[in-house]
Amino acid sequence: MAIFRTTATKFKSPANRKSLFPYLLLAPGLLYLAIFFLAPIATLGQMSTKTKNADGITYSQSFRFQNYLDAFSQSAPQFARSFIYATLATILALAIAYPLAYGIAFKAGRFKNVLFVLIVAPFFTSFLLRTVAWKQILGEEGPVIKVFRALHIIGPTTSLTASAFAVVTGLTYNFLPFMTLPLYASLERIDPRTLEAAGDLYANGFTTFRKVTVPLSLPGVVAGTLLTFIPAAGDYINAAILGAPDNKMLGNVIDARIFLQIFDGKCAIFTRKIYEECIVFV
The CATH number of residue 146's host domain is 1.10.3720.10
Cα 240 from chain centroid (whole Å): 19
Domain that holds residue 176: 76-281
Domain presence at residue 100: yes
Query: Where is pLDDT greater, at 170 or 271?
Result: 170
Query: Per the structure, how many domains does the chain have?
Result: 1
Query: Which residues touch 176 (CB under 8 Å, ≥6 apart)?
Result: 93, 96, 97, 228
Query: Which residues touch 237 (CB under 8 Å, ≥6 apart)?
Result: 127, 128, 131
Domain presence at residue 20: no
**Is the full-model pTM beyond 0.75?**
yes
pLDDT tens for residues 209-261? 999 999 999 999 999 999 999 999 989 899 999 998 889 998 888 877 766 55
What are the distances in angstroms from CA 183 to CA 100, 107, 206, 241? Answer: 9, 15, 19, 29
Domain presence at residue 41: no
Domain presence at residue 147: yes
Domain presence at residue 11: no
Residue 269's pLDDT is 57
Query: Which residues touch 103 (CB under 8 Å, ≥6 apart)?
Result: 115
Query: Are 92 and 176 a contacting pair, CB within 8 Å?
Result: no
What are the distances in angstroms from CA 97 to CA 94, 171, 262? Answer: 5, 14, 40
Domain presence at residue 8: no
Pairing of strands 59-61, 50-52: antiparallel
Provide, rounded to the nearest whole percent, the portion of the chain with pLDDT above 70. Answer: 84
Q: What angle do CA 281, 73, 70 make, to 5 degrees?
A: 100
What are the distances in angstroms from CA 138 to CA 15, 27, 166, 217, 230? Answer: 63, 48, 7, 34, 25
Domain presence at residue 65: no
CB atoms within 10 A of CB 269: 24
Residue 52's pLDDT is 79
Q: What angle do CA 230, 246, 262 make, to 5 degrees?
A: 70
What are the distances in angstroms from CA 273 to CA 8, 167, 264? Answer: 54, 21, 14
Domain presence at residue 120: yes
pLDDT tens for residues 3-51? 445 444 444 455 556 677 788 888 999 999 999 888 888 888 888 888 8
